[in-house]
Amino acid sequence: MRFSLFRHAPALAGTGQECSSTRLPSLEYPLDLPPRVAVLGLSVRQQQGIHIFPEWNSQNLNKLRPTTLAGWQQDLEQVGRLCDSGHLALSDLNYPLLVFSTPEQGPLGEVAQAEMWRWSGVPVYEQIRTREGRLVAVECDTRNGFHLAEGSQAEGGDAPCNCGRGVRWLPALAESTAATRSIESEQYMAAAAGD
């Protein structure tokens, strides 16, 4: 059974490149890593092109001119508000955003993803991570739910996925997780499903 998801396998042991930070989670960007990736609110393994901002502000981002962003939902939503209000001008954004959600938050849902696409001008891929940053699941390339990261376990769908990358997991849509979902995400889901 394979849980591997994206186009390139994570660079794991044996590369000899990441001695000091091997205990940190890796970013697992779904494409070849573009230049000037700003990672907000999470310390990840150092790689060429990754700029880590455990704390960030608009000056950091205006100065870096990132080509993409990775960060927690609330951080990216704050970036969106700053862009909308004219405090940030991320004119070099050109690669899909990577948004992190905790298992408790659950997936963004289509409406929130579309909102991020609106202000950023680029698509969004989602990763489920624990608060410490450990990767739990990543969104399928084909938007067909999520795939569990290696070593992760969860209840939920186990149907094979169209993308050919192993088992599919649908965290937000599973009724068993409904109790832990926020009202906001319920609204997103309702809005996405309705109309």
Identity of the residue, 163 or 170, whose beta carbon is nearer to Zn ion in the bound complex: 163
Count the residues of the shown chain that bind Zn ion, applying the rule CB under 5 A. 5
Identity of the residue, 83 or 161, whose beta carbon is nearer to Zn ion in the bound complex: 161
Give the distance from CA 108 to its chain's centroid: 10
Distance in Å, CB of 83 to Zn ion, minimum: 30
Does 161 engage in binding with Zn ion (CB under 5 A)? Answer: yes
* Whole-number Cα distances in Å, 83 to 50, 51, 53, 61, 100: 21, 20, 18, 11, 19
Does 149 engage in binding with Zn ion (CB under 5 A)? Answer: no
Does 138 engage in binding with Zn ion (CB under 5 A)? Answer: no
DSSP 169: B
Q: Which of 140, 148, 172, 189 binds Zn ion (CB under 5 A)?
A: 140
Does 163 engage in binding with Zn ion (CB under 5 A)? Answer: yes
Residue 91 tokens, joined: 């004119």
Does 167 engage in binding with Zn ion (CB under 5 A)? Answer: no
Does 148 engage in binding with Zn ion (CB under 5 A)? Answer: no
Give the long-range contacts of residues 113-120, CB within 8 A, separation 24 or more: 115/80, 116/76, 116/77, 116/80, 119/79, 119/80, 119/83, 119/84, 120/69, 120/80, 120/83, 120/90, 120/93
Does 50 engage in binding with Zn ion (CB under 5 A)? Answer: no
DSSP 25: P
Identity of the residue, 59 or 142, whose beta carbon is nearer to Zn ion in the bound complex: 142
Amino acid identity of residue 92, one-letter, is: D
Does 174 engage in binding with Zn ion (CB under 5 A)? Answer: no
Site for Zn ion, rule CB under 5 A? 140, 144, 161, 163, 165
